[in-house]
């Protein structure tokens, strides 16, 4: 998939997320299988079976099922005391963007929660975790602490996997796949990213590329 197609698809996923979040709705199962694109290039976010409407200042607790495993945000995986909210969807967006870039799901090798946490640490480095005190106090973190190895940064990971990666796409990946949701950008901020400043005519060409 080329950069124009990736930009087009990610832009309209972000628009759908921004709409949901403006309506105080957390989708809670953002993954590639729930992104539908027809032959005319129309994109929809599907399957709102886990979606919930919340107060903007409310954080969801963890007894409620949330998200397909390999798209699950760290705040949900580690069950931090503050819970999770709209930024969990942004993590899912980042996972889909990575999938478009790589050609396969970012965390597909993980078969359970513990494996997923290990993979995230190995690929993105331990530093992000250690800079978020709330996560280091969780049970799951303590179980894995002795296994931690120095990992790459997210930038290093993608530059190794995709040496010719578009640097604006890489920047968006770095801002959506941040471990601490307090530092992760919002769906609104995704739409304000410089990669989406392309001329609208560029997007109009994507329908032809999709149909090829």
Distance CA 131, CA 143 (A): 18
Assigned token pair, 52 = 């919930």
Q: Look up 29 and say whether it is catalytic.
A: yes
- Find the length of the chain: 212
What are phi and psi for residue 26, nearest 5 degrees?
-100, 125
Given 3, 29, 89, 171, the catalytic residue: 29
CA angle 72, 194, 17 (to 5 degrees): 35
Distance CA 177, CA 72 (A): 11
C-alpha distances out from residue 174 to 22, 113, 179, 212, Å:
23, 22, 10, 31
Catalytic residues: 29
């Amino acid at each position: 998939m080329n950069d124009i197609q990736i930009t087009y698809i990610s832009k309209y996923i972000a628009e759908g997320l921004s709409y949901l979040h403006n309506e105080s709705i957390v989708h809670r199962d953002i993954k590639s299988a729930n992104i539908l694109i027809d032959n005319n290039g129309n994109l929809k976010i599907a399957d709102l079976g886990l979606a919930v409407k919340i107060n903007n200042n409310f954080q969801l607790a963890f007894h409620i099922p949330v998200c397909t495993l390999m798209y699950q945000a760290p705040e949900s995986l580690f069950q931090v005391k503050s819970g999770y909210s709209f930024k969990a969807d942004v993590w899912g967006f980042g996972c889909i963007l990575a999938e478009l870039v790589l050609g396969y799901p970012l965390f597909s090798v993980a078969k359970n929660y513990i494996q997923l946490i290990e993979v995230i640490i190995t690929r993105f480095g331990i530093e992000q975790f250690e800079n978020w005190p709330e996560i280091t106090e969780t049970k799951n973190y303590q179980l894995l602490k002795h296994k931690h190895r120095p990992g790459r940064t997210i930038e290093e990971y993608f530059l190794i996997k995709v040496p010719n990666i578009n640097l604006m796409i890489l920047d968006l990946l770095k801002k959506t796949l941040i471990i601490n949701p307090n530092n992760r950008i919002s769906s609104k901020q995704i739409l304000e990213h410089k990669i989406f400043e392309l001329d609208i005519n560029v997007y109009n060409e994507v329908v032809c590329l999709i149909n090829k």
